[in-house]
Structure 1
Amino acid sequence: MPLILMHLKVLLPFQILIDNTEVSHIVAETSEGAYGFLPHRLDCVTALLPGILTFFNQQQGEVFVAVDEGILVKTGTDVLVSVRSAMIGNDLTQLRATVEKDFLALDEEAVQVRSIMAKLESNFLNRFVSFQQT
């Protein structure tokens, strides 16, 4: 009996991160817990939580994908995952370090954006007050 494989696509807002047609099974973190997806599993749609999505294929073995929140849609043997951000790795320790580094960079960027927004708001209010006084 031939092995039935799934087609996994992981979509980001700006690119297709994964397009793999030889996936035997997938494990994803949902709001209801971790679920395994096999080719014959019923079709479904589920919300994904930030966490690790794992899939397995013969060539790469077990592959880990750190994902942000998103959605997973399974129809037949096609599995479509759409998330805001994701990173691939074969080693969980290395993947964790990469994710932490990227989140720290995002935190620094958010602080800079808040600072710029505060300056813009302050400048706007000062101009608004001076406009009302004239």
Structure 2
Amino acid sequence: MPQHGLALTIATPAHVIVEGLPVVSLRAEDESGAFGVRPGHADMVTLLSASVVRWRTPDGVEHYCAVDGGVLIVSGGETVALACREALPGDSLEALEADVRRARAAQIDAMRRARVEQTRLHAQAVRQMLLYLRPRATRGEPG
């Protein structure tokens, strides 16, 4: 990490998106609104809103990551750690917006398929219960 900079880590349960990445500034959003973090920032912990986190690297390039909320921790004025359930990084807002739209559509489709499968399994279970609950005579078995 460059002296007088920040080290950024963004992680989900499945992936580490960035680890110890040198950054000169970061912008995020919590319930109170947007805020910035620069080297020397006071220690803090906050719950992020679903939003886009952006940071600038020492070469002046801005990067982005869509998060579904999460916890952001600033410690020692030089470490920023963000933990969230889902994160989608991108190098431009336009590309990130399209990626988020595609990911959301895939999520909605997966939820729809799961509901259809759940309904199918439920109907199958009801049919099986009805079969076993019928009197034996109607099932063709001797009484």
TM-score with structure 1 setting the length: 0.90
1:55: Cα distance to partner?
Answer: 0.7
1:132: Cα distance to partner?
Answer: 3.1
- Alignment correspondent of 1:18: 18
- Alignment correspondent of 1:7: 7
Distance in 2, matches of 1:126 and 1:69, equals: 42
Distance in 1, matches of 2:91 and 2:51, equals: 15
1:44: Cα distance to partner?
Answer: 1.1
Distance in 2, matches of 1:66 and 1:30, equals: 13
Q: Deviations over 1:43-65 (max 9, x none)?
A: 11111111100111123611111
1:101: Cα distance to partner?
Answer: 1.1
Aligned length: 133
1:102: Cα distance to partner?
Answer: 1.3
The alpha-carbon distance between structure 1 residues 101 and 128, as it changes in their structure 2 partners (threshold 3 A), is same
Distance in 1, matches of 2:48 and 2:84, equals: 8
Which consecutive unaligned segments of at least 5 residues does structure 2 have?
136-143
Distance in 2, matches of 1:131 and 1:80, equals: 56
Which consecutive unaligned segments of at least 5 residues does structure 1 have?
none
- Alignment correspondent of 1:101: 102
1:133: Cα distance to partner?
Answer: 3.1
Matched-pair identity in %:
24
TM-score with structure 2 setting the length: 0.84
